[in-house]
Amino acid sequence: MIIIPAVDMKDGKAVRLQQGRADQQTIYDADPVHAARRWFDSGAKRIHIVDLDGAFDGVPKNRAFTLQILKAFSTAAEIQIGGGLRDEKIIEDYIAAGAARCVIGTKALEDRAFLERLTARFPGKINVGIDAKGGRVVTQGWVSQSQTLATDMVRGLSSLALGEIIYTDIETDGMLKGPNLKQLAEMKSASPFPLIASGGVTTVENVKACRELGCFGAIIGKAFYDGALDIEEAYKAAAEK
């Protein structure tokens, strides 16, 4: 399993939110490029970049920083980008600039044709981010609750040339209380694609639990920034047989 440190950007800064709430924000670095370098220097093979302004507003607002990160690190580590990617040209530009994966969230639920075009153009380079509360998909930067079950959504994607599925349980995200292993197990069983766990991974035991479930990767943010989890220990736990 791979460990994927996260850099969430809002207003040009590296931040973390609790349960996706914009009013529950902690600023960790005034320069998101510097934050990305910290994880690159730690040996990360992939870094997860999220434009939170884009997730809330539907249009990426931190593109300059995203492009700086791609220029600095994309030849030596995989850079995975999400947050407001609802325009085909922006995704094309990010992939041309070196993005290994672009993550589609809201648009994947709302516009199937859009997702079909992207996966046909960029096979294996498009990930779908499924964010859920109570097992049901949440969109528009986690402020709009749908009635679609996350497991039903992922099953419906089986015909597409996707890379991976990123599953975030928003009730655990940023809370440092562990992931929702029950929901992760259900998603792992339902997903025809490799599954990346996101939300609540806080301890070495959490990392091992995700690995034992068969997750391809785990995205970790707040636990690393706060020092609750040592990144070297996380790498070791993820690699254990």
**pLDDT cut 70: percent of the chain above it:** 94
Prediction pTM value: 0.93
The reply to whether 131 belongs to the active site is: yes
**pLDDT cut 90: percent of the chain above it:** 81
Domain with residue 215: its CATH number is: 3.20.20.70
| Number of domains, the chain | 1
The reply to whether 152 belongs to the active site is: no
Contact 94, 139 (CB under 8 A): no
- Indicate the average pLDDT of the chain: 93
Contact 234, 225 (CB under 8 A): no
- Distance (Å, whole) CA 229 – CA 211: 16
Catalytic residue, from 8, 51, 169, 173: name it. 8
Q: What is the extent of the structural domain holding 167?
A: 2-239
Catalytic residue, from 51, 53, 131, 169: name it. 131
